[in-house]
A and B are shown apart, each in its own frame.
Chain A
Amino acid sequence: MTLALVLHDWRLVERIVGLTNRLGCALTRLDLHLRDRLYHATIDVTGPPDALRRLDAQLTRLLNDDKEMSR
């Protein structure tokens, strides 16, 4: 699974790694670029379909809080 994520706070990478590991998935690529004061991350993750679905949902929740936290 490839995900394109927009982070306000680059330190969230730590949580992305933590959650990926927690759900038994593996991170095989992580690119991070600063553009217009936002961090654009592209991640490749492998793992069981159920875990990938949960990871996707939990990252969405994380990014919603990140957005609110940066206001």
Chain B
Amino acid sequence: MPDPADSTGSQLILDILSDEGVDVVFGYPGGAIMPLYDALHRHSIRHILTRHEQAASFAAGGYARATGRVGVCMATSGPGATNLITGLLDAQMDSVPVVAITGQVRTPLMGTDAFQEADVTSIAAAATKRSVCVRDVTDLERALRAAFRVARGPRPGPVLVDVPQDVLKAACPRFNAFAARPIAVANERPGDAALSEAVELIRRAERPVAIVGGGARSANATQMFRELCALLELPHTATINGLGCAAPHDPRFLGMLGMHGWKAANLAVNSADLVLALGMRFDDRVTGRPDKFARNAVVVHADIDASEFNKVIPVRVALRGDLRHTLAHLLQRLAELEHRPRFSGWAAQAKALGGPLPADRTPQGELSATEVLDAFFAVAPDDAIVTTDVGQHQMWAAQRARASHPRNFLTSAGLGAMGFGVPAAMGAQLAFPERTVVAIVGDGGFQMSLPELATIKRYALPVKILLVDNRRLGMVRQWQELFYERRYSATDLSDNPDFVTIARGYDLRAERIDDAGEIRDALERFLVAREPRLLHCACFPAENVWPLIPPGATVADAMECRPGENLESEAIPA
């Protein structure tokens, strides 16, 4: 029997983290959480000191997105805790398993406006699945175990556990690893009647389209999804979080769906008579006007979270359950059909609905961002993990990425949080030290994460940063151009600092290109290096993302070039 009080709350937390499989945590110390950092000093768990707590929560999210395991971040009370919030909300929006541990002022001081006191459980409540404060060390293990269970699922997400300093210091019995294994989440599956109805709708369909989303990533259902598409020769598209689910080079993959999606994908969904929505949630960036979305289709919606059914789009059949099980059951039933439908003809038609991606032609001598990204994706290794920041470069990357797995393309999709790309890449690189990890960032978002160059340097993380610098807050500039009569309010960044000098200041290798002729060689040097690198691409400021379905509009209103211009811009082959 362990001594009844030979441990502390802090020690217990770290022992439980280890037992839950955590090998790395991202964080930043401060007064209230000092006891935990003191215990960490002697513990085998690796701590990564970011240079801002927001980067710690983004990095934990990047680690979790890349691995499927729970990412952990920690911060002190008050400002440390509030700085985590954006990363937690990002994890909430994209269903990413993260546990945040925050220090809190001592329990007798709580509610007195004590130094660095923040009611973080209330602040975090709307940004997490749950946020709890543990006021008694005897409740610490139960609360932390529950936090990991809830973070993992059934639908993953962030949980915050706030621990007052006196609880971190309190004596408690040593943790008994053997007695305290986590409980597995039940494998839920849809009912037989719903499955039969779904199969019947598929059997009768003439123009079905599958839309796969981030739920397939969470459920590890990629392979099953590919089998379904292959079995039925089904045309399919993906939300931004579902990118990588389609089998590489599958000709029936129509590209990304939505506001900046491929024309064929949007038109195919628009003319579909059946939509199979698999682990996706009909975000407004996907549907545009919901009353006009897939108007001719009945919808079969498979999701682990029943609150998603009929939330935005009316559903004929709801398949609630773990997507892997749902797809396994569907596959089995479809394979047993005497006359199994095949949709190869329709798949070819669907593909032909759209042409190549439209792109702006940049003036002679100017570097085109889309040209840089086309070249990058042409040479990036198949198993590279690509993160993006938020803005035009994110959409250009999402349109072009040919990720071989949904855990290889990581982006702040639901929240669209600038500053995500670099720290998320750090998290992914720590999970996979041997793999190529590239953060594609804009000059705006990069400047929200600049301090993390110090983290990259300290831990010698070979993260590559591909900076698409258009000297503008490009996405906002594009909208000002198109929807605000070219009133460019607060989007000019033409006085940007010298990014190469900045990177060198952190003792990182950096290179700048501003000519198309330099792209290939620069990318080769960039990708071959086994060390962190910045490739600063000084791009033309006014290149736009096309296609664009204006907000609240339909696929019929899709813009492929500036109003008044012809679509004679250089087309990039599909």
Interface residues of chain A, those whose CB is within 8 Å of chain B, are 9, 11, 14-15, 18, 22, 53-54, 57-58, 60-61, 65-66, 68-71
Interface size for B (C-beta < 8 A) is 20
Contacts A53-B310, A69-B132 given: A61-B305 contact, CB under 8 Å?
yes
Please give me the residue from chain A that is nearest to B159 by CB atom: A69
Contact bitstring B345-369, A, C-beta under 8 A = 1, else 0? 0000000000000000000000000
Q: Considering the chains assembled together, what is the distance between the CA atoms of A59 and B126 in angstroms?
A: 13
Q: Does chain A have a CB within 8 A of B402?
A: no
Residues in B neighbouring A61, C-beta threshold 8 A = 305-307
- Where chain A touches its partner, the secondary structure class is helix
Q: Considering the chains assembled together, what is the distance between the CA atoms of A60 and B129 in angstroms?
A: 13
Q: Considering the chains assembled together, what is the distance between the CA atoms of A48 and B129 in angstroms?
A: 25
Residues in B neighbouring A66, C-beta threshold 8 A = 130
Contact B311 A57 (CB under 8 A): yes
Q: Considering the chains assembled together, what is the distance between the CA atoms of A19 and B147 in angstroms?
A: 21
**Residues B110-129 near A (CB distance < 8 A):** 121-122, 125-126, 129
Contact A69 B146 (CB under 8 A): yes
Contact bitstring B293-314, A, C-beta under 8 A = 1, else 0? 0000000000001110111000
Please give me the residue from chain B that is nearest to A54 by CB atom: B311
A71 to chain B, nearest CB (A): 6
Contacts A15-B125, A18-B126, A54-B311 given: A65-B306 contact, CB under 8 Å?
no
Contact B125 A14 (CB under 8 A): yes
Residues in A neighbouring B159, C-beta threshold 8 A = 69
Residues in A neighbouring B125, C-beta threshold 8 A = 14-15, 18
Interface residues of chain B, those whose CB is within 8 Å of chain A, are 121-122, 125-126, 129-130, 132, 142-143, 146-147, 149-150, 159, 305-307, 309-311
* Most A Cβ at <10 Å: residue of B121, B130, B143, B159: B130
Residues in B neighbouring A60, C-beta threshold 8 A = 306-307
Contact A58 B307 (CB under 8 A): yes
Residues in B neighbouring A9, C-beta threshold 8 A = 132
Enumerate 20 A-B pairs (CB-CB under 8 Å) in ascending A order: A14-B122, A15-B125, A15-B126, A18-B126, A54-B311, A60-B307, A61-B305, A61-B306, A61-B307, A65-B129, A68-B146, A68-B150, A69-B130, A69-B132, A69-B146, A69-B150, A69-B159, A70-B146, A71-B142, A71-B146
Residues in A neighbouring B146, C-beta threshold 8 A = 68-71
Contacts A68-B150, A69-B146 given: A57-B132 contact, CB under 8 Å?
no
Q: Considering the chains assembled together, what is the distance between the CA atoms of A65 and B305 in angstroms?
A: 12
Q: Considering the chains assembled together, what is the distance between the CA atoms of A42 and B208 in angstroms?
A: 44
Q: Considering the chains assembled together, what is the distance between the CA atoms of A68 and B153 in angstroms?
A: 10
Residues in B neighbouring A14, C-beta threshold 8 A = 122, 125
Q: Kindly identify which residue among A11, A18, A57 contacts B307, using a CB–CB cutoff of 8 Å.
A: A57
* Most B Cβ at <10 Å: residue of A15, A65, A66: A65
Q: Considering the chains assembled together, what is the distance between the CA atoms of A52 and B149 in angstroms?
A: 29
Please give me the residue from chain A that is nearest to B309 by CB atom: A57
Q: Considering the chains assembled together, what is the distance between the CA atoms of A53 and B143 in angstroms?
A: 31
Q: Considering the chains assembled together, what is the distance between the CA atoms of A9 and B305 in angstroms?
A: 22
A69 to chain B, nearest CB (A): 5
Contact A71 B149 (CB under 8 A): yes
Q: Considering the chains assembled together, what is the distance between the CA atoms of A69 and B305 in angstroms?
A: 17
Residues in B neighbouring A53, C-beta threshold 8 A = 310
B151 to chain A, nearest CB (A): 10
Q: A18-B125, A57-B306, A69-B130 are in contact. List 10 more A-B contacts (CB 8 A).
A: A15-B125, A15-B126, A18-B126, A57-B307, A57-B311, A61-B305, A65-B150, A66-B130, A69-B132, A69-B150
Q: Considering the chains assembled together, what is the distance between the CA atoms of A14 and B306 in angstroms?
A: 22
Residues in B neighbouring A69, C-beta threshold 8 A = 130, 132, 143, 146-147, 150, 159
Please give me the residue from chain B that is nearest to A70 by CB atom: B146
Q: Considering the chains assembled together, what is the distance between the CA atoms of A15 and B124 in angstroms?
A: 11
Residues in B neighbouring A18, C-beta threshold 8 A = 125-126
B124 to chain A, nearest CB (A): 11
Q: Considering the chains assembled together, what is the distance between the CA atoms of A68 and B145 in angstroms?
A: 10
Q: Kindly identify which residue among B126, B149, B307 contacts A68, using a CB–CB cutoff of 8 Å.
A: B149
Please give me the residue from chain A that is nearest to B308 by CB atom: A57
Q: Considering the chains assembled together, what is the distance between the CA atoms of A15 and B126 in angstroms?
A: 7
B528 to chain A, nearest CB (A): 46
Q: Considering the chains assembled together, what is the distance between the CA atoms of A28 and B55 in angstroms?
A: 41
7 tightest CB-CB pairs across the interface, nearest first?
A57-B307, A61-B307, A69-B146, A69-B130, A65-B129, A68-B150, A58-B307
Contact B130 A65 (CB under 8 A): yes
Please give me the residue from chain A that is nearest to B145 by CB atom: A71
A13 to chain B, nearest CB (A): 11
Residues in A neighbouring B147, C-beta threshold 8 A = 69
Please give me the residue from chain A that is nearest to B157 by CB atom: A65
Q: Considering the chains assembled together, what is the distance between the CA atoms of A1 and B142 in angstroms?
A: 35
Please give me the residue from chain B that is nearest to A59 by CB atom: B307
Residues in A neighbouring B150, C-beta threshold 8 A = 65, 68-69
B347 to chain A, nearest CB (A): 34
Q: Considering the chains assembled together, what is the distance between the CA atoms of A70 and B146 in angstroms?
A: 7
Q: Considering the chains assembled together, what is the distance between the CA atoms of A58 and B309 in angstroms?
A: 11
A14 to chain B, nearest CB (A): 6
A55 to chain B, nearest CB (A): 10
Q: Considering the chains assembled together, what is the distance between the CA atoms of A71 and B182 in angstroms?
A: 12
Residues in A neighbouring B305, C-beta threshold 8 A = 61
Residues in A neighbouring B307, C-beta threshold 8 A = 54, 57-58, 60-61
Residues in A neighbouring B129, C-beta threshold 8 A = 65
Q: Considering the chains assembled together, what is the distance between the CA atoms of A66 and B130 in angstroms?
A: 8
Residues in A neighbouring B130, C-beta threshold 8 A = 65-66, 69
Please give me the residue from chain B that is nearest to A15 by CB atom: B125
Please give me the residue from chain A that is nearest to B133 by CB atom: A11
